[in-house]
Amino acid sequence: MANIVLSGKCNLRCPYCFAEDFTASQSKDMDLDDVIRAMDFIADSGSVGLIGGEPLLYKNIDTVLSVLNRDYRFRSVMVFTNGVFIKEHIDLLSSPKVSVLVNLNSSKNTGKASFDRSVEGIKMLLDRGMGRRVTLGINIYEENQDIFEFTDTLRAFSFDRARISVTIPQDKSEGAIKYFERMKPTLLKVYRELKSIGVAPCYDCNTVPHCIFTEEEREFIRTMPYDSPMERELLLGNNAVCSPIIDIYPDGTATRCFGCYDDLKADIKDFRSLSDLSNFFFKEIDAKRVHTLSRPECKDCYDFKTFKCYGGCLCYKK
């Protein structure tokens, strides 16, 4: 899968935003012809993500959704949004091919009016019968983070799963392992709250290595509801690796992922396929960084030696 970054514009300024450098420097929307060119480039994968900035602020978003809904090459379209502008595009967002991931920020960050609009948009999608094609996500970015608006919304709409991620900090000098250890109490608080309402956490990128958890904590994680056996392994940190998820930007360049935005860019015109581009990034980034130790103990770790754990996001290992 690859993502098309339609625009750097965003209506929010979240304190943890991993795309802050991009949104601060990119105010230009992607030309519609370039969007179509990007679609053609990634069509063989059968799926596409639409991201930003805030993709629902893109001036041609309705046209893009209409084209994708008609394009037989794409089986699925994922829109990553903060949810504030769902109402304005509800007909196209509720098309059978489309799924929506709403990153539900606290009203402390968005303001109550924007938070309420996001919740209204979620209700509209569910009222259209989208069900599990709507997912709520939370980014864990500070110690003792207030998560109860998020869990209250999950409960109010009877969600049975939620996307969870510990954000990558803008200042990486602390190192991945120490950062995970510092954020672990908040992550476990989220897990406990989700278990109490019967919601399965589905972990996104920046997977927590298993060594961060004590055996008692791992035993607790095993008792949680989970969406699939693979998700359970991710929660336990037994598969703390990733592969390139290509992001294509308005200027036609691409990166391995947003986490590696500043590391290396390539022009999609220089590659015959998405697979070739992914292999390029794997050779230039993944293959060169997976051997870098996050801490000395990694050297003797079986999971590290067998490429089951990178010891945190590769963006730490420039």
Digit-coded pLDDT (tens) for 69-125: 999 999 999 999 999 999 999 999 999 999 999 999 889 888 999 999 999 999 999
Is residue 300 a part of any domain in this protein? no
Q: Would you tell me how many other CB atoms lie within 10 Å of the CB of residue 270?
A: 12
For residue 202, how many C-alpha atoms fall within 13 Å in the half-sphere facing its CB?
A: 13
The token pair at 123 is: 């209700």
User: 256 pLDDT exceeds 90?
Assistant: yes
Is 302 contained in some domain?
A: no
Residue 56 has pLDDT above 70, yes or no: yes
User: What pLDDT score does 27 carry?
Assistant: 63
What is the model's pLDDT at position 26? 59
Predicted local distance difference test score (pLDDT) of residue 14: 76
pLDDT for 127: 98
In a domain, 236, yes or no: yes
Q: For position 22, which CATH number holds? A: 3.20.20.70
Q: Is residue 312 part of a domain?
A: no
Average model confidence (pLDDT) across the chain = 93
Residue 129 domain-assigned (yes or no)? yes
Residue 317 falls within a domain, yes or no? no
Percentage of the chain modeled with pLDDT above 70: 97
Q: Are 115 and 150 in contact (CB under 8 A)?
A: no
The residue type of 6 is: L
Tell me, yes or no, whether 95 lies in a domain: yes
* ∠ CA 154-209-230, rounded to 5°: 55
**Tell me, what's the pLDDT at 20?**
58
Q: How confident is the model at residue 197 (pLDDT cuts 50, 70, 90)?
A: very high
Q: Is residue 296 part of a domain?
A: no
Q: What is the predicted pLDDT for the residue at 259?
A: 87
List the domain range (segments joined by +) for residue 237. Answer: 2-288
> What is the model's pLDDT at position 21?
58
- Rounded to the nearest 10°, the torsion over CA 21, 22, 24, 26 is 160
The tens digit of pLDDT for each residue in 169-193 reads 888 889 999 999 999 999 999 999 9
Residue 18 has pLDDT above 70, yes or no: no
**Is residue 245 very low, low, confident or very high in pLDDT (cuts 50, 70, 90)?**
very high
> What is the C-alpha to C-alpha distance for residues 115 and 120, in angstroms, rounded to an integer?
9
Structure-token match 């929660």, residue found? 235
Number of domains in the chain: 1
Please check the confidence at residue 260 and state whether its pLDDT lies above 90: no
